[in-house]
């Protein structure tokens, strides 16, 4: 599914390398988690994969089902099946949440040569999905993320994911700013999308999220590359001992 090979990325404005030979493979249907100390490049990776400006790829490749992601515009990557749940979802005053979602769904369908959803069909589907995420009609009507609480914003991200049905979902610290109940709700939303084919890359600082969204593989990222990979136990080890031991072991 997702294949990152020896990816090198610098900040465009300053000559600063962030990703230094990142390699990672997420096969179809699997959930991989990435943990790592602050500044290790986790968010940069998610931005570079989804096509945010301000970064320069100086080497390496990233493909989704064999298609080169790095040459595409962000909307083309989305239409190809990539989705990023933002750590800080953006507020867009003046654009209704519903209008936004319908535009996004239909733009993607159009890009893939599929028929656009009618207003009625769209409404039916979104109502059902919103209900399971406890998103009410009022929240759908409001401008995108404006005045949403932290939890509402994250639930709205998952709703978008559910509506867009991507192949590859990247969740960037989706647990940050969530209370226990909200985390459960969001996790349930994610788990509902696990169908054996869809893949997930979950970036988090905390093992707790991984109790809800059970990963197949856990990667530790430090200084712009994956330094260690393992099973779910690796996350527990980080939770108990921090990163120091792992980083020391890698350095040795």
Partner 1 sequence: MKLAQAKTDAAEARVNRSDLPTGGKWANEARLAALTRLHGAGLPGRRDEYWRFTRPDDLNRADAPAADLLKTGESPVFGDLDRLKLVFVDGVLDRDQSDAMAMQHVEIETLADAAAADIHWARDIYGVLETAGQAPVERPLAALNTALAENGLVIRVTGKAPRPINLQYLRRDQCADAVVHHVIKVESGAELTLLENGPGAARLSKVAEVDIADGGIFHHVRTQGRDHQRRAHTHIFARLGKESEFKSFTLTVNGALTRNEYVITLHGDDARAHVAGACTGDGATGAFHQDDTVFIAHDAVNCESRQVYKKVLRNGATGVFQGKILVQPGAQKTDGYQISQGLLLDDDSQFLAKPELEIYADDVACSHGSTVGAIDEGAMFYLMSRGVPKSRAQELLVLAFLAEALEEIDSETIRDDIRDRLAAWVERHSG
Specify the residue, 93 or 196, whose C-beta has the smaller distance to partner 1. 93
* Residues found near partner 1 in the complex (CB under 8 A): 50-53, 73-75, 77-79, 83-84, 86, 89-95, 99-100, 103-105, 107-108, 111, 143-144, 160, 164
CB of 55 to partner 1, least distance (A): 12
Specify the residue, 36 or 51, whose C-beta has the smaller distance to partner 1. 51
Specify the residue, 102 or 225, whose C-beta has the smaller distance to partner 1. 102
CB of 62 to partner 1, least distance (A): 15
CB of 224 to partner 1, least distance (A): 22
Specify the residue, 37 or 143, whose C-beta has the smaller distance to partner 1. 143
88 CB-near residues (< 8 Å, 6+ apart): none
CB of 129 to partner 1, least distance (A): 15
């Amino acid at each position: 599914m997702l294949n990152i090979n020896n990816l090198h990325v610098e900040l465009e404005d300053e000559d600063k390398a962030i990703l230094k030979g990142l390699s990672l493979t997420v096969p179809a249907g699997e959930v991989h988690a990435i943990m790592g100390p602050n500044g290790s490049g986790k968010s940069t990776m998610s931005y570079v994969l989804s096509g945010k400006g301000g970064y320069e790829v100086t080497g390496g490749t990233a493909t989704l089902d064999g298609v080169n992601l790095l040459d595409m515009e962000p909307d083309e990557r989305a239409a190809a099946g990539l989705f990023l749940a933002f750590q800080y979802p953006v507020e867009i005053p003046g654009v209704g949440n519903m209008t936004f979602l319908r535009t996004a769904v239909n733009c993607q369908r159009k890009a893939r040569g599929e028929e656009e959803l009618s207003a009625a069909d769209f409404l039916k589907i979104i109502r059902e999905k919103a209900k399971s995420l406890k998103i009410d009609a009022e929240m759908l009507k409001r401008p995108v993320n404006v005045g949403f609480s932290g939890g509402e914003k994250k639930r709205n991200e998952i709703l978008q994911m559910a509506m867009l049905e991507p192949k590859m979902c990247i969740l960037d610290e989706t647990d940050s700013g969530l209370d226990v109940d909200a985390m459960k709700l969001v996790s349930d939303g994610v788990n509902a999308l696990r169908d054996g084919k869809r893949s997930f890359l979950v970036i988090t600082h905390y093992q707790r999220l991984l109790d809800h969204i059970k990963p197949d593989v856990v990667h530790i990222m430090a200084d712009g590359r994956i330094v260690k990979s393992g099973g779910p136990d690796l996350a527990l080890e980080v939770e108990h001992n921090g990163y120091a031991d792992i980083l020391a072991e890698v350095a040795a």
